[in-house]
A and B are shown apart, each in its own frame.
Chain A
Amino acid sequence: MRLRTASALAGITAIALAATACGGEGTGDSGGEAAAGTLVIWTDPERADAVEQSAAAFAETNGIDVSVNAVAFEDMQGDVLNAYQAGNAPDVFIGAHDWTGNLVRNGAVQPIELPQDRADLLDSTSLEAMTYDGQLFGVPYSQENIFLMRNTELAPEAPRTFEELVEAGSALKEDGEVSEVLSMAVGQEGDPYRMNALFTSAGGYLFGQDDTGTWDPADLGVDTEASIAAMERIAEYGEAGEGVLRRSITTENDAALFFDGEAAFFVAGPWNIADADASGIDYAISPIPGFEDGGPASPYIGYQSFFVTEGSTNTALAEEFVTNYVTDTDFILDLYAADPRTPVQAEALESVSADDPNIGAIAEAGTEGMPMPSIPEMGETWQPLGVAQAEIVGGTDPAKAMESAAATISEQIGE
């Protein structure tokens, strides 16, 4: 027995040594490849190729390696934060401006100093949107806002007020031309993002702003009289009212309704343009109209920007990349080709507007817009406010719904 064990051990050792020796040759130097000197950039899959090509040029000029990884945009913030906590975050990543507050709170991004000549080219509102606590935390490169898309065959004129829109849409519906007055996604959980234009036009507000435009989380507007009155106004068009706004219209079917000719008006975003072109429908873009006696309808504006991770091992290159490459006209045009969003850099905007009339129309639709608040508290409002708005569209008493939403939000912010 002893002998057998001994022989077994001897055999094992021999094989182990042989295998280690073989394995060692193959894997010996592969570990060194991923060493410092590689700039890691995370982007969403749509823009990965464009970023990779431009980054390759950057890598060549600076004699370093660049690795571009694709992460779904919706997962980006969470993944970056988890990776940052674990110590293997990327050096640069693409994000939305309204993440800034949360990213800063986690210490995951670092402030960026833009040379004045670079900053001058960028839309000043976009820089303000990226500023948190007096510091610039990312370099914006594109903006997007929702707008009204209409089927010009059915509705040749852009409605100037929401009432006009409803009138035109209802007439078409009565004639049997369409089945829906307006295709605007509400869904079972509401869509405060799309609803904001109507909400602000009717006089509602979410957070107050001080003189400098800084959002004040202490001034929550959800249950104020103005906001409740605004929702009452919107409720007139809900399921219990005119049936223009419906919970059954969701982000999954809103585009299909418009492209199938079931609705002449569509609250759309830049992401619908490519499909609209492919659908063969004659369409035109105009601002989302506000109420006749109301204020301007302000859609939310979202900015896309490049962030530099705090404490990355390649800070110098990362800063160089976002300050000098991301603001570069050619780079922005490359990204535009991959994923057409309105550039915030003046030269690039001029160049794409000349080629694409939609860009100008979308920008015009966004002139009354407001940047989405970037304070961390904003995140706590989506769900309660959305649920309340969906209920109101479904016929619930606006005062009751908005008051309970406000209670939930302030409780969550307070924590």
Chain B
Amino acid sequence: MTAYTVDPAATRYRRTAATRFALWAARLGWRHAFMWVVAAFAVFPVLFVVSAALNPLGTLSSARLWPTGASADNALDLFGNTPFTTWYANSLFFALANAAVTVLLSALAAYAFSRMRFRGRRVGLVGLLVIQMFPQFLAIVALYLMFSSIGEYRPELGFDTRWGLLLVYLGGALSINTWLMKGFFDTVPKELDESAQMDGATHAQVFFRIMLPLVTPVLAIVGLLVFINTVNEFLLASVFLRDTDAKTLGLGLYQLVASQRNANFGMFSVGAIMLSLPTLMVFWFLQRYITEGLTSGAVKG
């Protein structure tokens, strides 16, 4: 690079189309090329889903990328024969409620882990990680027992209720996400909140007014992650929600293909595409916060 000591002023006059292209290639061109490759990698399996959604036979034919026939049968089946809108609404309820509460609870805990020193802090952090290592499907019997007795006293929180399942989801509010948030909290200079506290701000004020606005990217990311995970979750939902109208879309779709014998991939694919739409919308909405939140804020020096 440094071998060519060309006067920049001189080159400016001699820019031909070729050098302009070379400059563009060095600055942006390779990025476009690389992104094309990644985008292709990202998109081609998705094309399959679209092709399966349009395949009137409801089979998953792997041999071709393009649909053999275009038909709206699967979509009509899904909308006509299942309580699709109810399922959709339920999914959105769980995803939004869980994302919102998890972000709040996780941020609170991450603040404590990042800014305060207390007994059990290290154990707590490592414990959060380690508890995730325990296979969840084994705990299902315990959850059955627990919610049977809860349902006995408070049917509003028992099986087949939204609130019961939401409670279980919130059990996972402090998790890997807390680590993620703590990592970002750590990048906010300590001096910032220390000075605010010296000025008489309470810890709550520091948290809500200084920290939270500065870590919006991570709040948005965690919100998105929780949203996506909740939308796709079906294992716990299948334990809790049996009433057809109480189901989530993820669970309903899972049950469409759970049976290996008469799995309907066509309807499933339509549902999977519909299910990804709110996710993409949430992403579209949040990406502003994810990518621009910190650029104008304080950064670690």
Residues on A facing B (Cβ under 8 Å):
27, 30-31, 33-34, 42, 44-46, 48, 67, 69-75, 79, 82-83, 85-88, 251-253, 255-256, 259-260, 269, 271-272, 275, 278-279
A81 vs B156: C-alpha distance in the bound complex, in angstroms? Answer: 23
Nearest-CB residue, chain A, relative to B58: A275
Contacts of B238 in A (CB 8 A): 71-72, 75, 79
Is the beta-carbon distance between B60 and A30 smaller than 8 angstroms? Answer: no
Beyond A86-B148, A256-B61, A275-B59, is A31–B155 a contact (Cβ under 8 Å)? yes
Contacts of A75 in B (CB 8 A): 238, 258
A-B contact pairs, 20 of them (CB 8 A): A42-B242, A45-B252, A45-B256, A48-B244, A71-B238, A72-B254, A79-B238, A82-B239, A86-B141, A88-B159, A252-B60, A252-B265, A253-B59, A256-B59, A256-B60, A259-B57, A259-B59, A269-B261, A271-B262, A275-B58
From A30, A45, A48, A79, B239 is in contact (CB under 8 Å) with A79
Is the beta-carbon distance between B261 and A251 smaller than 8 angstroms? Answer: yes
Residues on B facing A (Cβ under 8 Å):
56-63, 68, 73, 140-141, 144-145, 147-148, 151, 154-156, 159-160, 238-239, 242-244, 247, 252, 254-256, 258-263, 265
Is the beta-carbon distance between B60 and A253 smaller than 8 angstroms? Answer: yes
Contacts of B160 in A (CB 8 A): 69
Nearest-CB residue, chain A, relative to B61: A256
The 8 A-B residue pairs with the shortest CB-CB distance, nearest first, are: A271-B262, A69-B242, A86-B148, A256-B61, A256-B59, A72-B258, A86-B144, A72-B255
Beyond A251-B260, A259-B57, is A69–B244 a contact (Cβ under 8 Å)? yes
Is the beta-carbon distance between B61 and A86 smaller than 8 angstroms? Answer: no
A70 vs B265: C-alpha distance in the bound complex, in angstroms? Answer: 19
A33 vs B256: C-alpha distance in the bound complex, in angstroms? Answer: 31
Beyond A42-B242, A269-B261, is A30–B155 a contact (Cβ under 8 Å)? yes
Is the beta-carbon distance between A30 and B156 smaller than 8 angstroms? Answer: yes
From A71, A85, A260, A269, B144 is in contact (CB under 8 Å) with A85
Is the beta-carbon distance between B144 and A44 smaller than 8 angstroms? Answer: no
Tally inter-chain residue pairs, CB-CB below 8 A: 93
Is the beta-carbon distance between A253 and B61 smaller than 8 angstroms? Answer: yes
Nearest-CB residue, chain B, relative to A67: B243
Q: How far is the CB of B150 from chain A (nearest CB, A)?
A: 11
Contacts of A33 in B (CB 8 A): 155
Contacts of B151 in A (CB 8 A): 88
Nearest-CB residue, chain B, relative to A146: B261
A72 vs B141: C-alpha distance in the bound complex, in angstroms? Answer: 18
Q: What DSSP secondary structure best describes chain A's contact surface?
A: helix
Contacts of B57 in A (CB 8 A): 255-256, 259, 275, 278-279
Is the beta-carbon distance between A85 and B141 smaller than 8 angstroms? Answer: yes
A42 vs B60: C-alpha distance in the bound complex, in angstroms? Answer: 29
Q: How far is the CB of A83 from chain B (nearest CB, A)?
A: 6
A87 vs B259: C-alpha distance in the bound complex, in angstroms? Answer: 27
Given contacts A70-B242, A72-B255, A259-B57, 11 further A-B contacts (CB under 8 A): A31-B155, A45-B255, A69-B243, A73-B259, A87-B148, A88-B151, A88-B159, A251-B260, A251-B261, A255-B59, A256-B62
Contacts of B140 in A (CB 8 A): 82
Beyond A259-B59, A269-B261, is A86–B145 a contact (Cβ under 8 Å)? yes
Contacts of A251 in B (CB 8 A): 260-261
Contacts of B260 in A (CB 8 A): 74, 251
Contacts of B154 in A (CB 8 A): 31
Q: How far is the CB of B186 from chain A (nearest CB, A)?
A: 34
Nearest-CB residue, chain B, relative to A279: B57
Is the beta-carbon distance between B141 and A82 smaller than 8 angstroms? Answer: yes
A79 vs B159: C-alpha distance in the bound complex, in angstroms? Answer: 13
Beyond A34-B155, A88-B159, is A82–B144 a contact (Cβ under 8 Å)? yes
Q: How far is the CB of B135 from chain A (nearest CB, A)?
A: 15
Contacts of A34 in B (CB 8 A): 155
A383 vs B243: C-alpha distance in the bound complex, in angstroms? Answer: 33
Is the beta-carbon distance between B259 and A44 smaller than 8 angstroms? Answer: yes
Is the beta-carbon distance between B144 and A70 smaller than 8 angstroms? Answer: no
A30 vs B151: C-alpha distance in the bound complex, in angstroms? Answer: 12
A48 vs B255: C-alpha distance in the bound complex, in angstroms? Answer: 13
Is the beta-carbon distance between B60 and A88 smaller than 8 angstroms? Answer: no
Beyond A45-B255, A79-B239, is A70–B155 a contact (Cβ under 8 Å)? no
A85 vs B242: C-alpha distance in the bound complex, in angstroms? Answer: 17
Is the beta-carbon distance between B148 and A70 smaller than 8 angstroms? Answer: no
Contacts of B62 in A (CB 8 A): 252-253, 256
Contacts of B262 in A (CB 8 A): 46, 271-272
Q: How far is the CB of B188 from chain A (nearest CB, A)?
A: 32
A30 vs B63: C-alpha distance in the bound complex, in angstroms? Answer: 54
Q: How far is the CB of A190 from chain B (nearest CB, A)?
A: 14
Contacts of A73 in B (CB 8 A): 258-259
Is the beta-carbon distance between A71 and B261 smaller than 8 angstroms? Answer: no
Contacts of B258 in A (CB 8 A): 72-75
Nearest-CB residue, chain A, relative to B261: A271
Contacts of B261 in A (CB 8 A): 251, 269, 271
Is the beta-carbon distance between A70 and B59 smaller than 8 angstroms? Answer: no
From B68, B145, B155, A260 is in contact (CB under 8 Å) with B68
A251 vs B265: C-alpha distance in the bound complex, in angstroms? Answer: 12
Nearest-CB residue, chain A, relative to B55: A256
Q: How far is the CB of A312 from chain B (nearest CB, A)?
A: 14
A259 vs B55: C-alpha distance in the bound complex, in angstroms? Answer: 12
Q: How far is the CB of A74 from chain B (nearest CB, A)?
A: 5
A253 vs B159: C-alpha distance in the bound complex, in angstroms? Answer: 37
Contacts of B156 in A (CB 8 A): 27, 30-31
Q: How far is the CB of A195 from chain B (nearest CB, A)?
A: 15
A272 vs B68: C-alpha distance in the bound complex, in angstroms? Answer: 19
Q: How far is the CB of A8 from chain B (nearest CB, A)?
A: 15
Contacts of B73 in A (CB 8 A): 278
From A42, A69, A88, A253, B148 is in contact (CB under 8 Å) with A88
Is the beta-carbon distance between B61 and A260 smaller than 8 angstroms? Answer: yes
A275 vs B155: C-alpha distance in the bound complex, in angstroms? Answer: 42
Contacts of B243 in A (CB 8 A): 67, 69
